[in-house]
Chains A and B, each alone.
Chain A
Amino acid sequence: MRLHSITRIIRYVPLVVWLIFTIIIFGYAFLASLSTTREIFTNKLLVSGFHFSNYTRLFEETKIGLYFLNSLVYTVTSCVGIIVVAAPAAYILGRIQFRGKRLVDLMFISALSVPGLLISIPLFSLFYSLNLTGSTFTLIFVYIFTNVPFAVFLLTGFFASIPKELEESAAIDGCGPIKAFIKIILPMAQAGILTLTIFNVMGIWNEYFYALIFANNPDRHPIALALQSIVVGYTNTGNYSGIFAASLLVFLPTFILYLLVSRKIVAGITIGSVKG
């Protein structure tokens, strides 16, 4: 399409406005997290220099270090678990025709439309009767289990695109199916597994709903859930710089990850939507 030079430039205006808005809101949060509450209220951010004490005070007054660690454990363990459960199933569904395959496919797809709200009630009473509420494992189980259907759905496509000859040559070399899967197929599906894991890391790090219901021991709270109580507490005591500092601690890990891998995310959504 050929356009006049003025229209060419005008097209950038809404994009630049969006960019400026984004920089202002996140930039403000960052600067406010290093200012005093008085400076925030008088609109004079940073006039008395950088107050890194907002962050150190956060670690003294709250258990934010513990919550950060909890989130790290939840995220890493769940992401590994999802792949361990979903990848073998996706491999079979993506490469082998068998009776009942359509039913299994349908099963995982239908699970995608079951709302978390519906299953949370029976699951909670199930965990209660098994005496599992409040433990770290409960939330990890929930994260792995609820993410498996989408993982199977996404990885099936990746496995289907790997050439069939690979396993045949592996079989000739005397590789059993399990060994062939781990040594040859999994590395071939690396791109898909990586994309999926990036999504899962972001999703689980920021997850709120299941944490609210299943992590009812305060010491087991992930950071996104704990942040809400910290925000409510600091709003009551009027510690606004503390609110922004705590928010930044939750924001930064996924933001840095996003800076590194945004290309993969953008591509990943494209794949998912084309198939869906």
Chain B
Amino acid sequence: MRISKPIMMLFLLPAILVYMSIFFYPTLRAVFMSFYEISNINSSISEWKFIGLDNYWGLFHNSYFLNSSLNVLKIWIIGGLIVFVMAFFFSVLISSGVRFKGFWRALIYLPNTVSVVVMSVIWLQYVYNPTFGLLTHVFRLLGLEQLANIQWTDDQHLFLSMLIAFCFGSIGYFLLILGAAMDRIPNDYYEAALLEGANTVYQFFHITLPLLRDVFKTTLVLWTVTAINFFVWSSIFGRNDPHTMTPGYYMYLKVFGGERISDTQAFNVGAGAAIGVLITVAIIGFSFLIGLLFRKDRLEY
């Protein structure tokens, strides 16, 4: 059926307008704002003061911001290791022919469907609780007094505790993507490998991993974006604690202000916009780098 131009426009226009108003325009305006000093988010343009690259310059010399970037790097590396090792481990386990495959996958994905606030309550108020918490309880039962006495939510452990809780919820999403990709690998490969006497570990590194290259690339980009955008857990689990600060959350404090801001500098919406721009540049840059590292795979199956 031929669809006339006006009808086509009628169908496409709403979505294009949405794109223009919520992505195109705000992105340009945020870049523009990052060159100004803006004391309040509600100030009109006439009150803005052009300061060139000073916002960026200030951020690179701000220990608070640098520290928050370091936290993102830790999330990316430590969290990434936990999430990918666990997701690969469980994907292999579940695709190795256990019963109730769908159930196990749905189970591990479950935390993804739960509000971060609820997950934080469960981890903070129960699992990590020093008086009646699960960890204290289990370690005490096992007679590991030293481990039982760890204060999981004190300054020293808060970041790690948050990372573990966050990773617990993230594994399921990556498990589903990796698991679906593993299901598409033809069984013949494994049978042939078995005939040649290759064990399970050898099969994983020489058949599964190479064939999952493209999917691994996709998931790595996803993980990088997640780490750079890290915000909600810092806000809820960390409750403004500087130990769990990330650039995203720092930006929020700079622009909208939280309950408390430990940084003595005043609000500067321009600096917040500059953080937003840096986050976007980082996402695009790292996605590009990962794309370069994993050139399109020519293996077809």
Which residues of A does B touch, CB under 8 Å? 1-3, 11-12, 14-15, 18-19, 22, 24-26, 28-29, 32, 40-43, 84-86, 88-93, 96, 98, 104, 107-108, 110-111, 113-126, 128-129, 142, 144-146, 148-149, 152, 167-168, 170-171, 177-178, 180-181, 202, 205-206, 208-209, 212-213, 224-225, 227-228, 231-232, 235, 240, 243-244, 247, 250-251, 254-255, 257-258, 262-263, 265-266, 269-270, 273-274, 276
Cross-interface CB contact of A258 among B15, B18, B113, cutoff 8 Å: B113
- What's the dominant secondary structure at chain B's contact region? helix
Which residues on the A side are within 8 Å of B14 (C-beta)? Answer: 84-85, 88-89
Instruction: State whether the Cβ of B33 lies closer than 8 Å to any Cβ in chain A.
Output: yes
Closest to B283 in A: A113
Distance, CA A104 to CA B9, complexed state (A): 12
Which residues on the A side are within 8 Å of B218 (C-beta)? Answer: 273, 276
CB pair A146 B255 closer than 8 Å: no
Instruction: State whether the Cβ of B141 lies closer than 8 Å to any Cβ in chain A.
Output: no
CB pair A266 B105 closer than 8 Å: yes
Could you show 23 A-B contacts with beta carbons less than 8 Å apart? A1-B200, A11-B98, A14-B89, A14-B90, A15-B107, A25-B127, A29-B122, A84-B14, A85-B14, A89-B12, A96-B3, A98-B8, A113-B287, A117-B251, A118-B27, A118-B280, A121-B255, A168-B1, A170-B1, A231-B121, A251-B115, A257-B113, A262-B102
CB pair B29 A258 closer than 8 Å: no
**16 further A-B pairs in the complex, CB-CB below 8 A; given A3-B96, A115-B248, A119-B276:** A1-B96, A11-B93, A11-B98, A24-B134, A25-B127, A89-B14, A114-B280, A117-B252, A119-B23, A121-B273, A121-B276, A123-B22, A124-B255, A177-B7, A209-B231, A263-B102
Q: A15-B104, A118-B26, A123-B26 are in contact. Are A25 and B126 (CB under 8 A)?
A: yes
Interface size classification for chain B? 35 or more
Number of A-B contacts (CB under 8 A): 256
Instruction: State whether the Cβ of B235 lies closer than 8 Å to any Cβ in chain A.
Output: yes
Q: A121-B41, A167-B1 are in contact. Are A114 and B23 (CB under 8 A)?
A: yes
Q: A89-B11, A205-B115, A208-B116 are in contact. Are A1 and B125 (CB under 8 A)?
A: no
Distance, CA A136 to CA B161, complexed state (A): 36
CB pair A145 B22 closer than 8 Å: yes
Which residues on the A side are within 8 Å of B106 (C-beta)? Answer: 258, 262-263, 265-266
Distance, CA A72 to CA B24, complexed state (A): 30
Q: A122-B26, A244-B121 are in contact. Are A149 and B279 (CB under 8 A)?
A: no
Instruction: State whether the Cβ of B292 lies closer than 8 Å to any Cβ in chain A.
Output: no
Instruction: State whether the Cβ of B209 lies closer than 8 Å to any Cβ in chain A.
Output: no
